[in-house]
């Protein structure tokens, strides 16, 4: 079994409910969407076997993987997740909600970008919903979305720069609708990967 890998790096989770936790990011190549605000160059990839990925990540003193992309659910399956689970890894995923998630994932972050009504059919329950928001965007209707305990709004940045009007807009939405909370891309604020 192989993966088409864009990059592997060791950093701290910058966003959401696991912010600040050391994690090995495995960015898989390719996405099935093309969002205007996308901050990631995910097209290029190299073919790696699971053993090669394991060898690379074993150098880090960390047992959390974050599968990201692109859209990692285009490539992951139950067997790949089981391979890393059997070797002691906990696995988080950052998904756009357009594909089913393999079993065995320990923390699901879902950031739907379109077709919100099909997301819940594919992924009934997640650990967090995190929506990139720019000024003027409507607040998502949580009644049709996957079940979760964490509803997060993430103001869209200009590359690594805060766009204050997006932050202010998210804050006003949250004050009016306190089921939501703010998620910042803290890695960009502090200049780490
Ligand atoms: N530090 C850090 N945290 C992240 N959380 C999600 C990321 C992503 O690109 O998916 C990301 C990233 O690129 N860097
Ligand atoms: S779903 Fe995510 S990775 Fe894919 S284009 Fe949109 S923002 Fe970029
Ligand atoms: Mg990123």
pLDDT for position 25? 99
The structure's pTM equals 0.98
Question: Does 54 have pLDDT greater than 90?
Answer: yes
41 Cβ closer than 6 Å to some ligand 2 atom? no
What percentage of the chain exceeds 90 in pLDDT?
98
Cite the annotated binding site for S-adenosyl-L-methionine by residue number.
37-39, 70, 111-113
Domain boundaries, the chain: 2-189
Residue 178: pLDDT band with limits 50, 70, 90: very high
Probe ligand 1: pick from 14, 28, 65, 193, max atoms within 8 Å of CB?
A: 14
Q: Whose CA is nearest to atom 7 of ligand 2?
A: 38
**CB 75, CB 4: distance < 8 Å:** yes
Q: Phi and psi (nearest 5°) for 125? A: -140, 140
Ligand nearest to the CA of 25: 1
Long-range contacts, 155-161 (Cβ 8 Å, 24+): 155/182, 155/184, 156/37, 156/132, 157/39, 157/185, 157/188, 159/39, 159/188, 160/188, 160/191, 161/188
pLDDT for position 117? 87
Determine the distance separating the centroid of ligand 3 and the alpha carbon of 40, expressed in angstroms: 6
Region 64-69 average pLDDT: 99
Say whether domain 2-189 belongs to CATH 3.20.20.70: yes
Please write the tens of the pLDDT for every residue from 6-37.
999 999 999 999 999 999 999 999 999 999 99
Question: Does 110 have pLDDT greater than 90?
Answer: yes
């Amino acid at each position: 079994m192989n993966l088409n890998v864009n990059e592997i790096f060791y950093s701290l989770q910058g966003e959401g409910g696991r912010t600040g936790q050391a994690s090995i990011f495995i960015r898989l190549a390719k996405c099935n969407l093309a969002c205007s605000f996308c901050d990631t160059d995910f097209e290029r990839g190299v073919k790696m076997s699971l053993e090669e990925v394991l060898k690379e990540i074993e150098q880090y003193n960390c047992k959390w993987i974050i599968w990201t992309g692109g859209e990692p659910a285009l490539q992951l399956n139950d067997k790949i997740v089981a391979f890393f689970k059997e070797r002691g890894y906990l696995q988080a995923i950052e998904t756009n909600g357009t594909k089913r998630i393999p079993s065995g994932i320990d923390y699901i972050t879902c950031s739907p970008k379109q077709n919100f009504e099909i997301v819940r059919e594919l992924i009934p329950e997640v650990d967090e919903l995190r929506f990139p928001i720019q000024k003027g965007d409507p607040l998502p209707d949580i009644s049709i979305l996957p079940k979760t305990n964490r509803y997060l709004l993430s103001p869209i940045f200009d590359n690594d720069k805060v766009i204050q009007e997006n932050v202010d807009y998210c804050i006003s939405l949250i004050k009016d609708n306190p089921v939501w909370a703010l998620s910042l891309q803290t890695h960009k604020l502090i200049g780490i990967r």
